Structure 1
Amino acid sequence: MRPYADNDYPTNHKPDWKIIAGLWPYLAEYRGRVILAVSMLIMAKVAIVTTPIALKYIVDYLDQNRGADMVLWIPLMLVLAYGALRFGSTLFSELRDAIFARVAERAMRRVSLRVFNHLHARELAFHLDRKTGGLARDIERGTNGISFLLRFTLFNIVPTLLEIAMVAGILLVAFNVSYVIAILVSVVVFVIFSIRVTEWRTAFVREANNRDNQSNSRAIDSLLNYETVKYFNNERFEAEQYDEDLDLWEQARLKNRTSMAVLNIGQAFIIGASMVAIMAMAVREVASGQMTLGDFTMVNAYLIQLFIPLNALGFVYREIRQSLVNVERLFGLLGEKPAIEDAADAKALAIAKGEVQFHDVRFSYHQERAILKGINITIPAGNTIAVVGASGAGKSTLARLLFRFFDVNSGSITIDGQDIRNITQDSLRSAIGVVPQDTVLFNDTLYSNLAYGRPGASEAEIHHAARQANLDVFIRSLPDGYNTRVGERGLKLSGGEKQRVAIARVLLKNPPLLILDEATSSLDSISEQAILDALNEVTQQRTTLVIAHRLSTVRDADTILVMDQGQIVESGGHNELLAKDGYYARLWLQQQHSDKENQE
């Protein structure tokens, strides 16, 4: 069973409320809109709070003039005022939302772009370890959480507290302090209950999120490995594993839903009990003549008006807690610094000749296992150096270090005497073209994938690169030609076709330095020779590091380095190494024998 549990975020961890303060920069960008939206909010609340007063005067006028000659226009004007206040509260609330919409949507855009850039800035090791499905869910929930926090913190919590204060003030002036005390006690009990139960529920929310990430990661990973699943007839196994994760997710969601029911029932009981107690006080005063029927109606209207947003405040608090959990994960992701960063005084790479040197380079992915053990290599400008050896010898690690996917543990790598740790990653990678062993394409057209090597290239340049990579005949044979879609990760193309696309992209990029990491490993013999001829022509003017397993592809290299167990054990030209009758010669004989057997 593959380890998919995403338990790196404890369910009992308490979120940091300071996160809300961290949202201020997103509000500050549209300070004017925020101020105008808050103004609309205040006007809406004023309209809402004064509505019961208009209702009181309507009821009192009708009650006191019952059976008498009533001046009809007075209650009609009061009704008109009541309707205008009702409409005004809705109008100002909608205007508030419309004005603030740009602020919230822009915040989501800014955060999404920031996360996107941050993820691309992260080191290769991060992406090798991370589960894409869970990461995507974290980003989605986090960006939505930011929008929720911006909207509801500003437009629900603050206005609800403002409304409670205004209603309490009106009741204190219009009646007596007992109503204010009763309302405040009800509010305090409601808030304390909501906070305590919500704190208890937060662990269930986190667990549900973790299980959601876990099941989503498994689903995406299984679909990305569709062919492997088919090769081993493991559809049922994958479904069973996915169902196990869904079962855990179902249980977590059940806990979440059940605990929410407890919260909702408790809140409803507190509100109902409070309304009964306060309305009983009002009934007694109406019966004793201390309060008019209009006053009674006003108290009832205020209670309904007060407890509806208070109940909503309980919902908002629950959602804010959940949003804090989601945003905290997102901000936690943003707070993780990339392992590979530009130095504070990093300068752009200046290539005069293009000489590459490895100076006593030592490196390990894990402390307990050394990969490179004191490597010294010089690649003269314009020369091609090939590195060969058995799998696991450390060949591809040289390419990763030169491209600065990782930093050396000790020693240094220089280009024209410039330590690559002291130059910007952007300028370094702009100067290097890479043809990887495993080419993954975007789910787009062939033309778009070719143009990715240099997005500003002309159509003629793209077609020329395709011809150089021996790809144009294949493209012309396709019904849609360059507009053919390659599918997810390029699965509609063969390995050789994908590799030729990768070669064409590098030719289009036209960099001064080249890394060819098993660049012809997926090609047949005829295509391989055609590609080698093109690459040999291209590498004449470039400093090239060739990583190869098949020795026949590097016979023409200026120098061949033989690696074994993280060290260079032999170096020289092809014929020179064969004459030594050493490790290279043994590899050569083994591959020749294998090729002969395959031909038979």
Structure 2
Amino acid sequence: MLFERFEKLINPFKEVPDKMPPKKILPFYWHYLKQVKGIFLCLLIVGFFASIIEVAFFNFLGKIVDYIQASSSPANFFSDHRYELIWMAVVILLLRPFFFLIHDLLERQALTSNLVTLVRWQQHRYVLKQSLNFFHSDFAGTISSRIMQTGNSLRSSAISCVNAIWHVIIYIGSALFLFIEVDWLLTIPLLIWLVAYVLTLIYFVPRTKQRSAISARARSKLMGCVVDSYTNITTLKLFAHTELEQDYAKKAMQEQTVAAQRSTRLVTAMSQVLCIINGLMITSTTALALWLWSNSLITIGAITLATGLVIRINNMSEWIMWVVNGVFEEFGIVQDGIRTISQPRTVQDKPNAKPLLVPQGNITFNHIYFSYDSKRPIYQDLNFSIQAGEKIGLVGPSGAGKSTLVNLLLRLYDLQRGSITIDNQNIAEVTQDSLRSQIGMVTQDTALLHRSIRENLLYGKPNATEEEMLHALRQAKADEFVLNLVDNDGGKGLDAKVGERGVKLSGGQRQRIAIARVLLKNAPILILDEATSALDSEVEAVIQESLEMLMKDKTVIAIAHRLSTIAKMDRLIVLNNSKIVETGTHQQLIKENGLYARLWQHQAGNFVGLDE
């Protein structure tokens, strides 16, 4: 089918190098448009012929009037001018529809949807691999809004520019040519208008661009504010701060409204100025044409041609004004998107990075130095090793640096100095995907994707069978509630959706799903960050059995504030102020009567049945 042929001219998901988009606006446009330059070239060529045909209308109209005036009698009109009239009919009935059809197929079927998808897909791929710090520095709603808006604005402005180019060149050029052919004096009002029109655009367009960029930033900020409120709706309700949140959103909406109003003021002023100079052009051209006719210098057909053409130029100039204004508004939106999207990745795979192989599971932190902002060091010369198959518990007060250590092992951040090795392989020199595929992790803040239980579990093992998933759920003591789940769309059991971040499940249920997912992954290195913090004591006792089975033959790092959950580990490492202050077994540390012993006493840890 014709539509499908044109829709398949562009593959928006084709493989391209995953490079950072340029930071300057014109190279940014070319970064994406060069991938579809052939389609744009065809659009430019077809647009040229379509514009020529549009201008030919007015030439035809003038000639018909002259033919009528010169005809000896109405009866002989068609016989005297049949070839000219047939040619006009061919142009209007065949050539015009053909070129307009090809133009619309190229623009709407080939470009409109595919180019937007291409830009969004490549930007999403790039942003998805940004470091964790990138996402912590901005609203999730703002980032997603900029990716969505940038793709649409880039496509819209690029197509508008291509369409406008020929309209301006062909209409103005043809008008000058035809006016010179009739009488060169007719070009004077048109040239004066052209100068005034260009000066109007030169004055207003840069100011419109600047204010449009401000308006786009305000719109993105508003989007981030609203999404942030909806994402944290539970906190909003718990603290009964609906009115406070309304004020927060109201302020963002007011800023966006004021920014939009300041932008539209310029548009209104530009429209009014254009209306005046267009009126002067139409009046002066028509008056001059009538004066020339009254002096027998031009024909009535020439008056029809001149008047019709300047009225068309008037309409075109208004359209061009809106196009130019729209293009620069889109430029503002794209520039706003560039600020977010075209950011270098702070954590990147090296060009020669190799996959990580973990035959054993030895982990070594070699004299590491790290800080988040290069001002306040978190770790200075931290040095320790974990043997293959060893179970380590990280202990310490809040802020001691336990989670940071885990984030560094996962290479969510890069070290300033030192190295972390797994089986003598520097994690900075292996691919990030292979590193994280060898590490299973259950966190205290278990957020599930807003998808089905099945899709969440398949994150652990993409090719897992249904029996494997059910087995993992049974091990995590999650099979009973999962099989009874029903969502609003009628999905049941494994196919039931869990809601955004898993909000339809309790904290304990989410954590059990997360444990099942890690059971499926079966990675050689396991990280448990408060893995049972959301479980009640009875369920925790049952889950501990599953975790102990999961930990078998694996290198384990466990973080817990409830010391009873890690007291049986092979070795405990006590951190304070980002330094190792104690290390040993539970019994050894109790005897030392240091920080660990004090923390244990605060929690009255004797109930686990361990001898002090």
Following superposition, the deviation at residue 181 of structure 1 comes to 3.8
- Cα deviations by residue, 1:465-504 (Å, 9 ceiling, x for unpaired): 1112111122234353223221121111111111111111
Following superposition, the deviation at residue 83 of structure 1 comes to 5.2
Q: Which residue of 2 aligns with 1:127?
A: 135
Single out whichever of 403-412 and 81-90 deviates more from structure 2.
Answer: 81-90
Q: Which residue of 2 aligns with 1:400?
A: 407
Q: Which residue of 2 aligns with 1:387?
A: 394
Following superposition, the deviation at residue 42 of structure 1 comes to 2.1
Residue 473 of structure 2 aligns to a residue whose secondary structure is helix
User: Within the alignment, does 1:503 sit opposite 2:509 as a pair?
Assistant: no
Relative to 1, partners in 2 of residues 1:230 and 1:332: Cα closer, same or farther, differing over 3 Å? closer
User: Within the alignment, does 1:54 sit opposite 2:60 as a pair?
Assistant: yes
Matches of residues 76-95 of structure 1 in structure 2 within 5 Å? 81-82=87-88, 84-87=90-93, 88-89=95-96, 91-95=98-102
Following superposition, the deviation at residue 38 of structure 1 comes to 2.9
Q: Which residue of 2 aligns with 1:461?
A: 468
Residue 477 of structure 2 aligns to a residue whose secondary structure is coil
Q: Which residue of 2 aligns with 1:517?
A: 529
User: Within the alignment, does 1:340 sit opposite 2:352 as a pair?
Assistant: no
The answer (yes or no) to whether the contact 2:47–2:163 under 8 Å persists in 1 is yes
User: Within the alignment, does 1:115 sit opposite 2:157 as a pair?
Assistant: no
Matches of residues 162-181 of structure 1 in structure 2 within 5 Å? 162-172=170-180, 174-181=181-188
Relative to 1, partners in 2 of residues 1:533 and 1:512: Cα closer, same or farther, differing over 3 Å? same
**C-alpha separation in 1, matches of 2:25 and 2:99:** 29
Matches of residues 260-339 of structure 1 in structure 2 within 5 Å? 260-339=267-346
The answer (yes or no) to whether the contact 2:23–2:339 under 8 Å persists in 1 is no
**C-alpha separation in 2, matches of 1:74 and 1:221:** 75
- Name the aligned partner's letter for residue 589 of structure 1: Q
Aligned counterpart for 2:220 among listed residues 200, 213, 221: 213
Q: Which residue of 1 aligns with 2:501?
A: 489
- Cα deviations by residue, 1:69-91 (Å, 9 ceiling, x for unpaired): 54345567766654554454454
- Cα deviations by residue, 1:310-365 (Å, 9 ceiling, x for unpaired): 32222111111112222223334332111111123322212231100111222222
Q: Which residue of 2 aligns with 1:6?
A: none
Relative to 1, partners in 2 of residues 1:496 and 1:103: Cα closer, same or farther, differing over 3 Å? same
Relative to 1, partners in 2 of residues 1:234 and 1:594: Cα closer, same or farther, differing over 3 Å? farther
- Cα deviations by residue, 1:439-460 (Å, 9 ceiling, x for unpaired): 1111122222222222221111
Q: Which residue of 2 aligns with 1:552?
A: 564
**C-alpha separation in 2, matches of 1:68 and 1:326:** 59
User: Within the alignment, does 1:156 sit opposite 2:156 as a pair?
Assistant: no
Relative to 1, partners in 2 of residues 1:409 and 1:68: Cα closer, same or farther, differing over 3 Å? closer
**C-alpha separation in 1, matches of 2:277 and 2:72:** 37
**C-alpha separation in 1, matches of 2:101 and 2:276:** 31
Following superposition, the deviation at residue 214 of structure 1 comes to 2.1
Aligned counterpart for 1:23 among listed residues 15, 23, 29: 29
- Name the aligned partner's letter for residue 120 of structure 1: L
**C-alpha separation in 2, matches of 1:90 and 1:143:** 30
Relative to 1, partners in 2 of residues 1:248 and 1:328: Cα closer, same or farther, differing over 3 Å? closer
The answer (yes or no) to whether the contact 1:49–1:166 under 8 Å persists in 2 is yes
Following superposition, the deviation at residue 208 of structure 1 comes to 1.8
The answer (yes or no) to whether the contact 1:60–1:294 under 8 Å persists in 2 is yes
**C-alpha separation in 1, matches of 2:605 and 2:128:** 44
Relative to 1, partners in 2 of residues 1:145 and 1:594: Cα closer, same or farther, differing over 3 Å? farther
Matches of residues 559-598 of structure 1 in structure 2 within 5 Å? 559-592=571-604
The answer (yes or no) to whether the contact 1:430–1:511 under 8 Å persists in 2 is yes
Residue 488 of structure 1 aligns to a residue whose secondary structure is coil
Structure 1, unmatched stretches of 5+, are 1-15
Relative to 1, partners in 2 of residues 1:164 and 1:89: Cα closer, same or farther, differing over 3 Å? farther
Matches of residues 189-228 of structure 1 in structure 2 within 5 Å? 189-228=196-235
Aligned length: 580
**C-alpha separation in 2, matches of 1:170 and 1:178:** 12
Following superposition, the deviation at residue 178 of structure 1 comes to 2.5
User: Within the alignment, does 1:39 sit opposite 2:45 as a pair?
Assistant: yes
Relative to 1, partners in 2 of residues 1:25 and 1:167: Cα closer, same or farther, differing over 3 Å? farther
Aligned counterpart for 2:144 among listed residues 117, 136, 148: 136
Give the alignment's TM-score, normalised by structure 1. Answer: 0.91
Q: Which residue of 2 aligns with 1:10?
A: none
- Cα deviations by residue, 1:93-130 (Å, 9 ceiling, x for unpaired): 33212124414433222211111111111111111111
**C-alpha separation in 1, matches of 2:24 and 2:128:** 27
- Name the aligned partner's letter for residue 110 of structure 2: R
Following superposition, the deviation at residue 535 of structure 1 comes to 1.4
Relative to 1, partners in 2 of residues 1:192 and 1:69: Cα closer, same or farther, differing over 3 Å? same
Q: Which residue of 1 aligns with 2:14?
A: none
Q: Which residue of 2 aligns with 1:147?
A: 155
- Name the aligned partner's letter for residue 440 of structure 1: A
Q: Which residue of 2 aligns with 1:452?
A: 459
**C-alpha separation in 2, matches of 1:491 and 1:156:** 49
Q: Which residue of 2 aligns with 1:3?
A: none
- Name the aligned partner's letter for residue 63 of structure 1: Q
- Cα deviations by residue, 1:32-80 (Å, 9 ceiling, x for unpaired): 5444333322221221122222111211222334876543455677666
Residue 23 of structure 1 aligns to a residue whose secondary structure is helix
The answer (yes or no) to whether the contact 2:32–2:119 under 8 Å persists in 1 is no
User: Within the alignment, does 1:248 sit opposite 2:255 as a pair?
Assistant: yes
- Name the aligned partner's letter for residue 163 of structure 1: Y
The answer (yes or no) to whether the contact 2:146–2:340 under 8 Å persists in 1 is no
* RMSD between superposed Cα atoms in Å: 2.4
**C-alpha separation in 1, matches of 2:208 and 2:74:** 59
Aligned counterpart for 1:188 among listed residues 195, 205, 218: 195
Residue 77 of structure 2 aligns to a residue whose secondary structure is coil
The answer (yes or no) to whether the contact 1:486–1:492 under 8 Å persists in 2 is yes
Single out whichever of 447-456 and 270-279 deviates more from structure 2.
Answer: 447-456
**C-alpha separation in 2, matches of 1:159 and 1:25:** 26
Aligned counterpart for 1:235 among listed residues 239, 242, 255: 242
- Name the aligned partner's letter for residue 385 of structure 2: T
Give the alignment's TM-score, normalised by structure 2. Answer: 0.89
Query: Identity of aligned pairs, percent?
Result: 30
Relative to 1, partners in 2 of residues 1:306 and 1:133: Cα closer, same or farther, differing over 3 Å? same
**C-alpha separation in 2, matches of 1:161 and 1:417:** 66
**C-alpha separation in 2, matches of 1:486 and 1:17:** 39
Residue 490 of structure 1 aligns to a residue whose secondary structure is coil
**C-alpha separation in 2, matches of 1:179 and 1:468:** 89
Following superposition, the deviation at residue 226 of structure 1 comes to 0.8
**C-alpha separation in 2, matches of 1:22 and 1:238:** 37
The answer (yes or no) to whether the contact 1:37–1:97 under 8 Å persists in 2 is no
Following superposition, the deviation at residue 223 of structure 1 comes to 1.0
**C-alpha separation in 1, matches of 2:272 and 2:90:** 35
- Cα deviations by residue, 1:253-303 (Å, 9 ceiling, x for unpaired): 222222211011111111111111111110101111111111110111221
**C-alpha separation in 1, matches of 2:569 and 2:130:** 34
The answer (yes or no) to whether the contact 1:562–1:568 under 8 Å persists in 2 is yes
- Cα deviations by residue, 1:382-412 (Å, 9 ceiling, x for unpaired): 1111101111111111100000111122221
